[in-house]
Chain A
Amino acid sequence: MEKQAVQRAKEAFVTGRSRPLEFRVQQLKSLLRMITDRQGEIATALKQDINRSQFDTSLFELIGLENEINLAVSKLAQWAAPRPVERSLLTISDEVYIQPEPLGVVLIIGAWNYPWALTLQPLVGAIAAGNAAVIKPSELSEYSASLLKSLLPRYLDQELYPVVCGGVSETQELLRQRFDHVFYTGNSTVGRLVMEAAARHLTPVTLELGGKSPCYIDKNVDLRVACRRITWGKFVNCGQTCIAPDYILCEPSIQNRLVEGIRQTLLEFYGPDPKSSPDYGRIINQRHFNRVMALLEGYTAAVGGQSDASQRYIAPTVVKDVPPHARLMQEEIFGPVLPIVTVSDVDDAIHFINEREKPLALYVFSSNKKVIKRMLAETTSGGVTVNDVMMQYTLSSLPFGGVGQSGMGRYHGKHTFDQLSHLRACLVKSLGMEGVNMARYPPQDPQKARRVRLAMRTPLVDFSRGTYVWAVSATVVAVGLLVALTVILLLAAGISCTCW
């Protein structure tokens, strides 16, 4: 079944119908209609999957998607156009450019924590780049997966963009097929398997993985605002966000105030009983519930700690003075548990972060420019937000992705388009100017060799529009100034002119 879907997508791609820009725009607009028309059903599915509040759904899944589609529709012609490149004097009469082209059939494997955004955002880029795509939503968010399977064929070309549902064995079967690109969002264990499967076909991959995203809080910071921002980011979607602040690093002197600040904020956000708040989520399934609870074993919570297995509910929890070797610090938590690890100063914090795998995100709260600069210069991560959390994800002009164990490749906005395109280098020469070429042909002698070397060394010239406009304006201004100077000198020399 999987094989047939892939085969049909390949055949559909070969017909060439996914290439014309009008077709791509039409499909994207159709996708937009699907999201806006079916908002209610999508929100219901998410509520059933993960107890997502309808506002979180809009904010985190749908608004972002709508923005991405609108951006792609308005910019597509620009993105898909040939991109000019600097030329040397030798190639001045040639056409030199980069032509973006579709890759073919892309496999998109979605995740369960934001099943719509993380599955459909890559699809937006795949469609915009002119590819066909096989979409495999996560089976853990089963209501969303089956809703997507029934909705997508009603809005998009059924052969070019099939949805394949299923579990581990269906995914493995899919990965045995050959694709032109595989886009995977999930954890690094499966990420390795995806890369291995793709390796057999020499297929490039984009892996959006995760890790433990550290959050360093400097002692001289407005804790009130910092607590609100961190609390929001940590407990939204019940902590099940790849870029959620995983743990906090701070000096012992502010730890208690921090805990109090978070406690206050939680009260404001979810009331005294988060279990009854419509805005607080649940853990996706029993297995993950057990996993997160196991991490808490042996620790007393400073805030929260309550749970209800029947509802897969874990209260927003904060744990103080967590030792670096604790289980809580060994794997990505992906749940509403926030450990605080104390460090002696910024140096200690930087050391701590660098001893661990490169994270997907890094957060720094500080009003001290030097601290911020050091953190940026002396650590690495997929992305950074200073004085807030998660926001680097929201701007589509910033490329989003990991590094090292947190992933490879980038997307969002134009970056998805580029990631799922082949940027083909093109040089179209004329058969004229053969005189220049003669020097490179055998039989060879020292004079010819010298001439070719010289010709190869010509500097590159930027023929982009921006430079052209600058050059013309600069010339006009210079000439204008020259004329003005001449007039002034003439006037100063007392020469009268009958023209005025």
Chain B
Amino acid sequence: MKLLRGVSVTEPRSHPSLLQLRATFRSGMTIPEQFRMNQLQKLLSLVEENEQLIIDALHKDLHKPKFESVLSEIQITLNDLYFAIENLRTWMQPEYNIGKNLATRMDECFIRREPLGVVLIIGAWNYPLHLILLPLVAAIAAGNCVILKPSEICQATEQLLAELIPKYLSQDCYAVLCGGAEETKSLLKNRFDHIFYTGSQAVARSILLAAAPHLTPVTLELGGKSPCFIYGRIDIQKAARRLCWSKFFNTGQSCVAPDYVLCTVETRDALLPAIQETLLSFYGSDPGEGPDMGRIVTLRHWRRLVDMLRKSKGKVVIGGDSREEDKYIAPTVLVDVPEADSLMQEEIFGPILPILTIESLEEGIDYINRQEKPLALYVFSDESSVVSTVLNNTSSGGFCGNDGIVHMALPGLPFGGVGASGMGSYHGRWGFETFSHRRSCMNRSWLLEMVNVLRYPPYSEYNLGWLRWATTLKKGSWGGCTVM
């Protein structure tokens, strides 16, 4: 058995799964394109053949309506898989289109994509399937071995993954480890070649602190309060529909849900009846009765939200009711919410929408810039100047104009945060790059030693002059097509 890349440094008390995966990685099993393609196909079968089981598990954990499960868990995973399968060969190719200077004209310069080794993917509870499977797709495509740690809060999904993954994928390369905070902490004492975490800022800090002694690179997909401007000339009906859809999807438990709205008093007054009408058309007069409204994930999270609502100084104008037995909170909208309100201290992550009124766009932008950089930022406006003013004067992980959430469904766009909302990105090719090492390679020819001679001691001004000329990257040589 050939001993290939990877470090055989074994830490004492290494987790047995980790040891096994390291050995597999060292054997080179996950490297060939054929193997990666085969595993991706198997993962595709896993999702396609178990749709109903997945839908049932998600309903059990989150009371997720079937429609939401299909759209935001199953289909998004399938799409990413199709995309990866179709593009894997291209992604794996070394990149040759490198600009060269005279000194390197005869050399072969390229960038290889290599796997990192054994990576750890920690999932989240709000989209327990896709938030762990999309990174897995990228990690497999990049040729790594993977330890998956699904969220223990969604027990049905966790169990399903623990059962299905070993059934479809190679058990030598991919392991599912279940457990709570204690088990995760102890798992993090081990050394990984990359850690991919989706979740909260507090836990993210402890993950980074655990990764630092091992110098392990980390991708953090966090959250924050994603603001939503509704400003200027706008079709209020359409805006209200898209806003309500993105806010109340998954009961507001989306990292990119619009957290709060910023608009003028006039807009607010037009918005409220439009929201009212939309909610009626979506869920009927009692959202708690219909099949299309989800529930809060646990009692603890439900209590946090109800508490936040109770402490708020804002005025509830829509919804407001809640029910402990099934962790239900009605789609709720509040107005006259002050900046220092309980609802404005942390990410809401629930079906509660505060509306803050502003007198000008600048006031709103100023407010946003005083807070942490959010994961997403939204602007609803028919005026392109409004959209571009907000874009150019703020920062956020991603941005979507005139809709909510959907920007994360495009595999061509990198999905990730900035500042407190995270570091790194994934989806599509971006995920492949996240789990790969870009290795710069230069294969020098034996010829042109006379150019090389210029660099050897004993040094002289004359040689330096020529060398300077030879090592300048010529203008327009980006395409590799320079005439001397």
Contact = CB atoms under 8 A, between A and B. Distances in A.
A304 to B, nearest CB: 16
Given A354-B4, A398-B98, A381 B410 contact: no
Given A202-B201, A388-B442, A460-B412, A399 B111 contact: yes
Contacts of A14: 369
Interface stretch (B127-135, B145-153, B340-348, B464-472): B464-472
B425 interface: yes
B401 interface: yes
Nearest to A452: B71
Chain B interface size range? 35 or more
A142 B437 CA distance: 35
A440 B410 contact: no
Interface stretch (A152-160, A221-229, A251-259, A285-293): A221-229
Nearest to A74: B475
B471 A202 contact: no
A449 B215 contact: no
B26 A354 contact: yes
A386 B242 CA distance: 56
Interface stretch (A212-220, A423-431, A468-476): A423-431
Interface string B373-399: 000000010100001000100011111
Interface string A113-154: 000000000000000000000000000000000000000000
Interface stretch (B56-64, B165-173, B205-213, B302-310): B205-213
B440 A400 contact: yes
Q: Which of A232, A382, A403 has the most CB of B within 10 A?
A: A403
Contact of B411 (A192, A385, A403, A460): A460
A388 B451 CA distance: 13
A54 to B, nearest CB: 8
Contact of A392 (B9, B83, B442, B467): B442
Interface residues of A, number: 111
A395 B441 contact: no
Contact of A442 (B101, B283, B452, B467): B283
A93 to B, nearest CB: 12
A103 B417 CA distance: 12
Interface string A158-180: 00000000000000000000001
Contacts of A434: 238, 241
B458 to A, nearest CB: 6
A202 B220 contact: yes
B395 A449 contact: no
A397 interface: yes
A426 B377 CA distance: 10
Interface string B444-478: 11100100100111111101100110011101001
A444 B396 contact: no
Given A277-B457, A440-B245, A196 B238 contact: no
Nearest to B193: A404
A391 B443 CA distance: 9
A71 B400 contact: no
B67 A398 contact: no
Interface string A69-85: 01100110000000001
Interface string A444-457: 10001100110011
Interface in B215-236: 215, 217, 220, 222, 234-235
B413 interface: yes
B320 interface: no
Contact of B473 (A67, A191, A192, A444): A67
Given A427-B403, A427-B410, A442-B283, A279 B458 contact: yes
Contact of B387 (A87, A229, A277, A428): A428
A228 B454 CA distance: 12
Interface stretch (A56-64, A306-314, A322-330, A333-341): A56-64
Contact of B242 (A85, A372, A387, A437): A437
B5 A426 contact: no
Given A279-B459, A354-B3, A380 B114 contact: yes
A98 interface: yes
Given A59-B455, A395-B109, A443-B292, A424 B104 contact: no
Interface stretch (A30-38, A355-363, A485-493): A355-363
Given A277-B458, A357-B7, A437-B242, A384 B439 contact: yes
Interface string B60-85: 00000111001100011011001100
A212 to B, nearest CB: 13
A195 B208 contact: yes
A195 B292 CA distance: 45
A349 to B, nearest CB: 11
B419 interface: yes
Contact of A391 (B104, B205, B410, B459): B104
Contacts of A407: 215
A180 B222 CA distance: 16
B444 to A, nearest CB: 4
B21 interface: no
A7 interface: no
Q: Which of B204, B411, B412, B425 has the most CB of A within 10 A?
A: B412
A392 to B, nearest CB: 5
27 contacts: A53-B459, A55-B460, A85-B413, A96-B413, A202-B208, A232-B455, A350-B3, A354-B8, A355-B8, A379-B4, A391-B107, A395-B99, A397-B478, A398-B440, A399-B440, A403-B437, A423-B414, A424-B397, A427-B399, A429-B400, A431-B235, A441-B245, A443-B281, A443-B284, A444-B65, A449-B67, A456-B79
Given A395-B104, A456-B409, 11 more contacts: A56-B459, A63-B471, A67-B472, A192-B215, A199-B205, A354-B4, A354-B8, A381-B439, A399-B438, A425-B397, A427-B400
Interface of A: 14, 53-56, 58-59, 63, 67, 70-71, 74-75, 85-88, 91, 95-96, 98-99, 101, 103-104, 180, 188, 191-192, 195-196, 198-200, 202, 204, 207, 209, 222, 225, 228-229, 232, 268-271, 277, 279-280, 347, 350-351, 354-358, 367, 372, 376, 378-388, 391-392, 394-400, 403-405, 407-408, 410, 422-431, 434, 437, 440-444, 448-449, 452-453, 456-457, 460
